[in-house]
Amino acid sequence: MCTPALGAISAISSIATGVLGEVSNIKSNRDNYKYRTQVALNNAKIAQDEALRQQQLGIEKSRLEKIEGIQKANKLKAINSASGFDLNSQTNTLAYQDVTDLADYNAENIKKEYEVRADNYFNQANSYLNSAKQARKEYNQSLFDYSLNALGKIQNVAGSWYSN
């Protein structure tokens, strides 16, 4: 036969066990959330850094392509000069311009290519940041769920306490 005192002790023990279990779950979930969030933030930072690096590479390679074009035009001028051609003739002027225009065109394409790469890395960074936000959302939802579960256990114990 269960006495009211034993029922109370059993109820208190049940509450304590339930609360300790929920606290343990909350701590475990918090640690998981912190880990997932930190990994996502680290990955986002790496992706952002790589995006900036790709942009810088594009600028540098584009600049080098333009320099190479100017050097080719100057080399063409030197060849024409050594050959005794009129450097300022319409044909030669157009040839020099074509060489530099082609270099500018190639430089722009190189820059665009690296911009696309950078955009892809920026998109990855945003994806990682969204993962961090999702982890935070899941953690907050789990806190709410654990709280409801704990309240339900307390309600069950209180109900059995008063029914006894």
What pLDDT is recorded for position 26? 73
The closest of 163, 138, 160 to 12, measured between CA atoms, is 160
Residues whose CB falls within 8 Å of the CB of residue 40, separated by 6 or more in sequence, listed in order? 128, 129, 131, 132, 135
Q: Is the pLDDT of residue 94 over 90?
A: yes
Q: How many domains does the chain have?
A: 1
Residue 8 — very low, low, confident or very high, per pLDDT cuts 50/70/90? Answer: low
Token pair belonging to 150: 């704990």
| Biggest alpha carbon–alpha carbon distance for the chain | 122
Over residues 14-27, the mean pLDDT reads 69
Residue predicted with more confidence, 13 or 49: 49
pLDDT of the residue at 41? 92
Helices (H), the chain: 4-82, 90-163
> For residues 7 and 1, which has the higher predicted lDDT (pLDDT)?
7
Query: What is the mean pLDDT of the segment spanning 6-31?
Result: 69
Query: The domain containing residue 100 runs over which residues?
Result: 4-163
Please state, for a pLDDT cut of 90, what percent of the chain lies above it. Answer: 49
CB proximity list for 112: less than 8 A, separation 6 or greater:
58
Q: How far is CA 63 from the centre of its chain?
A: 29
pTM of the model: 0.68
Mean pLDDT of 136-153: 75
> What pLDDT, on a 0 to 100 scale, did the predictor assign at position 1?
46
Confidence of residue 18 (pLDDT cuts 50, 70, 90): low
Q: Give the Cβ contact number of residue 96 at 10 Å.
A: 18
Residue 92 pLDDT grade (very low, low, confident, very high; cuts 50, 70, 90): confident
pLDDT-derived band at 19 (thresholds 50, 70, 90) equals low
d(Cα 1, Cα 7) in Å, to the nearest integer?
Answer: 10
Residue 63 above 80 pLDDT?
Answer: yes
